[in-house]
Structure 1
């Protein structure tokens, strides 16, 4: 049983998320470590997938690196709103073969079996295609729910992707382009039984988290890693032994601005317990109820969350407009300089000016 201080636990989490002083430089390597690069179009600064990679690499990150890894090299694939390393696909396949488990989804697929056949036949004959290029011939309709519109083709493609029959081959703007999975995924992937796949997935989740509660619905890691306790906390944790060993070579932290959809922020209870950061995304709050801004980016400094960056790109002026840097505790001169330097790097990466604020 490892006994850790909170400082050590935070440093393990920061290191696992590649937010230490020593920056990575490889998009695929980042995806392998993190397991998922969240996709979201909200772009007050830049879409989430690009902001996440910039937060790790810095201004040397080129957006073309991501599209090349996904569309040309096929080292990453898009699934369920994130880019994932191809090494995860065989671990996901057993669950994909069992999908769906929900009775309503099974009934919808059964009622639309002819529609399913027609979608697959269209892709086989003409793919890759956008959803808008495939006729909607559904017999049973799933009503719009705020996330999906009335086009049933989108539902069917998502269902078929979850079953491993179709895959996203690329994008046209923000629209996904679909094809048969056999023409997108490698044919030489290893095969795993359900239990082994789940065990390996738990290890990959813990690798990305560094440390996680043993019983966490946010970061389910099962028996992966090794048991640990954290000073002042009763909960039992699991720690990745490689992340624990990396503490010996920890070169310290730096400033990082995190997209609100960054994986570092996903496990809200862990964020609150380890970092004492009670993060609330204000995107969906009425404007009068917002404290930090519509899409403010949390500021990580070392292993502490110290503030929020409220900024947006003004494309007409070619500027990064900094509305506010909210300081949870007033910064000292060095901290101010570090935050200013990171904002300057952000402007360099975006290719825009950063006026004084």
Structure 2
């Protein structure tokens, strides 16, 4: 039997599948409600949480770029009242659908095994691990949700170069092993409670075996990436090993649940081998036309998270420079990529001056071949106006632009 011919897919097609899967071809003017936000998080798979607050927290920027009427209180309600979302790790701290909590049971088991196999966590406790863990659980059980600052620490009792006091280490360990969950955040500080009190409707979800977990993690990834390499599938949730992903892809191709495709890179490098659902062509045809508008994306947006993938699909080289010394930055501290339709066409360096309620654009750079036409600049100002409303700014300044 002759080998199947592997089709070559243009980067523009793979890009459309990715944008569609990540909610960036949907109408952003549709009604924004907590239910719509929950549905959007489910569609994306997760929304990354980050502490940097130059403009607004990352999770709010990601959601607002897809829902015009989004308000942070909507996400807070889902996390803190409805409990249909929870916060834990994917590749980083993220907001995740609570119905997936059983799969985090696999992570909890792996974390416990790693902890027992090493000494890193033991060193955080100064030889008093069991006593400290028991004390933290006892206080939270009796008093309800607590944060690290609610626990006193003797001077000099902090654990190593991480500068975690033992009680902080205990809270993190108990969270990462599933005993505690994040009940809410106060000024972005985690407030912990017993998992059965935070997620009573989900805490007893069954923990899948490894085969079911791998199948779920890989299927979840490919359906949110469109076309992806084995490495990209594995990195999406950071939930399975590279070997597990390769085996899953091979089995899925044999079962006609995936097909191999070669994708021509947008940056003119060689084509790359990826996998897609067998009906990928039908999915492309069903995608709507990208809204005629500009969106300002968070540096932690899902389409930017994998920088190499972003370059291959969009021919857009993006580097987050917040941790780069100022003299070595090419663009700025917190630069927002500019998405116009299906193309990344430029970037903005922005800052919110909360004292004077002003959103300042400190720099604007267009990609090669992109001209600042009157129509484009008008669309950019509209996007900045939407961002200003989200962050509570009364005016936008674009000095020299």
After the TM superposition, which residues 50-89 of structure 1 pair with which residues of structure 2 at under 5 Å, given as runs?
A: 50-58=60-68, 60-80=69-89, 81-89=93-101
Worse-matched range after superposition: 46-55 or 269-278: 269-278
- Corresponding position of 2:50: 40
* 1:98 has 2:110 as partner: yes
- Corresponding position of 2:288: 251
TM-score after normalising by structure 1:
0.89
Any idea what SS the aligned residue of 2:192 has? Answer: strand
Q: Which runs of 5+ in 1 are unaligned?
A: none
Deviation per residue, 1:154-197 (Å, 9 max, x gap) = 22212111211111111122111111111112245243112211
1:235 pairs with 272, 285, 294, which one? 272
- Corresponding position of 1:265: 304
CA contact (8 A) 1:128 1:178 kept: yes
After the TM superposition, which residues 94-243 of structure 1 pair with which residues of structure 2 at under 5 Å, given as runs?
A: 94-100=106-112, 101=114, 103-105=118-120, 107-108=122-123, 111=127, 112-136=129-153, 142-145=159-162, 149-185=163-199, 186=201, 187-216=203-232, 218-219=235-236, 222=245, 223=249, 226=258, 227-231=260-264, 233-240=270-277
Change in Cα spacing, 1:203 to 1:139, as seen in structure 2 (3 Å) is farther
Give the paired residue count. 353
Indicate the RMSD between aligned Cα atoms, in angstroms.
Answer: 2.6
CA contact (8 A) 2:102 2:208 kept: yes
Any idea what SS the aligned residue of 1:40 has? Answer: coil
> 1:241 and 1:337 mapped to 2: Cα distance?
41
> 1:45 and 1:178 mapped to 2: Cα distance?
26
Note the C-alpha offset of 1:153: 2.0
> 1:109 and 1:325 mapped to 2: Cα distance?
45
Note the C-alpha offset of 1:316: 2.1
CA contact (8 A) 2:124 2:166 kept: no
Note the C-alpha offset of 1:125: 1.2
Note the C-alpha offset of 1:250: 2.3
Any idea what SS the aligned residue of 1:56 has? Answer: coil
Note the C-alpha offset of 1:310: 1.2
CA contact (8 A) 2:124 2:165 kept: no
Note the C-alpha offset of 1:139: 12
Q: Which runs of 5+ in 2 are unaligned?
A: 1-5
Any idea what SS the aligned residue of 1:292 has? Answer: coil
CA contact (8 A) 1:166 1:179 kept: yes
CA contact (8 A) 1:6 1:231 kept: yes
